[in-house]
Structure 1
Amino acid sequence: MGGNVRPVADERDGLLSYLEQQRHVLRIAAYGLTDEQAGRAPTKSPLTVGGLIKHVAYTERGWMDTVLQRKRPAESGAKAYDQHFDFGPQDTLAGVLAFYDEAAKETEEVIAGIEDLGQPVPVPRDAPWFPKDIEAWSVRWVLFHLIQETARHAGHADIVREHLDGATAFPLMAAAEGWPESPWMKPWQSA
């Protein structure tokens, strides 16, 4: 995919392409990690690369549930929210990445089935950060929000990864995508 989004055809293509780019950047932070490393929190924060990917997958899936007005009661509430960040001993990086791929595929399918990105999406009332004075957002707003949320957590994952082993985004991307070494970019290599 590279460091930039390809030229886009229209608004829908642009929104989905930018979301895919941010997913890719988040996944890059996990490139070359073991399960143990993916679950390690090397800063004062409890955030882990694996937990961040898991959280963003749940978040994306949750927003598609909201768009479709679908309920998953076992996955809601404060306890579930905290667990979505947890990369526990039962988790594997491959499993979390596969879950993220499933969430992304579902988003693509849901959005493809919506003719008007202006379609209203009722504002959820179950979290304190949702406004009480707005009845609905649009599908367009949801896509922008998913881009924002994914980008925010991709940045968190970059910091966690750098604390784990010193790896940074562009050398990781170069390694993951097979870029040739150049005078100004050396692809990351496992120690």
Structure 2
Amino acid sequence: MSSADPVPEVHPAPTAPSIASSGGSLLSDEGAAPTTDELLVKQTLHRYLQKHRAALLAKLDGLAERQARWPVTPTGTNVLGLVKHVAGVQAGYFGEVFGRPLADPPAWLEAEDGSDMYATLDETLDDVVAFHHRSAAHADATIEALDLDARGVVPWWPAEHRAVTLHRILVHMAYETARHAGHADIVREMLDGLAGDGDGNLARKTPEEWVEWRERLVDIAERSALRSIAP
């Protein structure tokens, strides 16, 4: 997508089965009352992580190799790179941090040259998705095996902050995954107009209404600029 490309027609994403199975954005009764039940707290954190993980992966649905790799920002942000990055980060935080390293990790996992932010010509979309699933399964096994207060060490964090618990890492990774799922949502919308996760959080508008909505915002932006330079 270049600056000369037309604005894609907006169409809402269908609900992906993986999102529905992990709860989507629907609320449950978990956390409705104060609790000291460690298992319930861990299940809640884990569900949010799984929900955001599924939302991120769903942004690849229906994309061709070129589209999945296409950089739409000046810093090169692309959907497939986001999935690859989160898979790598996930492998590290739920692996090495707790002395449970992922078996046969790819060489790029230890690289610091940004190679986790894009798929090379030797990697296919399916390769990246398969690694993400392997990373997720390994992360889930760590979460299931350890208590929330299980201790770990993040060697790439400053020394005074390296000592962590599983609780801390679950919160950190839910945040990290949600952040990049949001990036992927915007990138996908810029690629072909697919918006939202099909979970009811996208306003109900026709493609024509979305055009009108965007034109209204453009008009407001233009008029605000004129106002700021008026004598």
TM-score if structure 1 supplies the norm length?
A: 0.79
Listed as ranges, the matches of 1:1-191 within 5 Å are: 1-2=19-20, 3-4=24-25, 7=28, 8=30, 10-70=40-100, 74=107, 75-79=109-113, 82-114=114-146, 116-124=147-155, 126=156, 130-170=157-197, 173=198, 184=204
**CA-CA distance at 1:6 after TM superposition:** 5.9
Q: What SS class does the counterpart of residue 10 from structure 1 fall into?
A: helix
1:22 partner letter? H
Identity %: 32
**AA paired with 1:109?**
A
Q: Secondary structure at the match of 1:121?
A: strand
**Match for 2:130: what amino acid?**
A
What is the TM-score of this pair, normalised by structure 2?
A: 0.66
| Mapped partners of 1:140, 1:15: distance in 2 | 8
Residue identity matched to 2:178: A
CA contact 2:100–2:142 (8 Å) conserved in 1: no
Residue aligned with 1:32, SS: coil
Number of corresponding residues: 171
* Shift in alpha-carbon separation, 1:76–1:5, aligned structure 2, 3 A: farther
Q: Given that residues 28 and 169 in structure 1 are in contact (C-alpha distance below 8 angstroms), is that contact kept between their aligned partners in structure 2?
A: no
Deviation at 1:31, TM superposition (A): 1.7
Larger Rg: 2
Larger deviation, residues 155-164 vs 86-95:
86-95
Once the two structures are TM-superposed, the CA of residue 53 in structure 1 deviates from its matched residue by 0.1
Cα shift at 1:107: 1.0
Offset at residue 22 of structure 1 (A): 0.3
8 Å contact from structure 1 (residues 29, 169) kept in 2: no
Partners of 2:83 and 2:128 within 8 A in 1 = yes
Deviations 1:129-158 (A, max 9, x none): x23323401111111111011011111111
Q: C-alpha separation between the residues in 2 aligned to 1:142 and 1:18?
A: 13
Deviations 1:76-106 (A, max 9, x none): 2413xx1111122222222211211111111
CA 1:164 to 1:117, structure 2 compared with 1: closer, same or farther past 3 Å?
Answer: same
d(CA) in 1 for partners of 2:78 and 2:106? Answer: 26
Once residues 64 and 107 of structure 1 are traced to their aligned partners in structure 2, the CA distance between those partners, rounded to angstroms, is: 5
Query: RMSD across aligned C-alpha pairs, in angstroms?
Result: 2.5
- Give the whole-Å Cα distance in 2 for the aligned partners of 1:135 and 1:27: 29
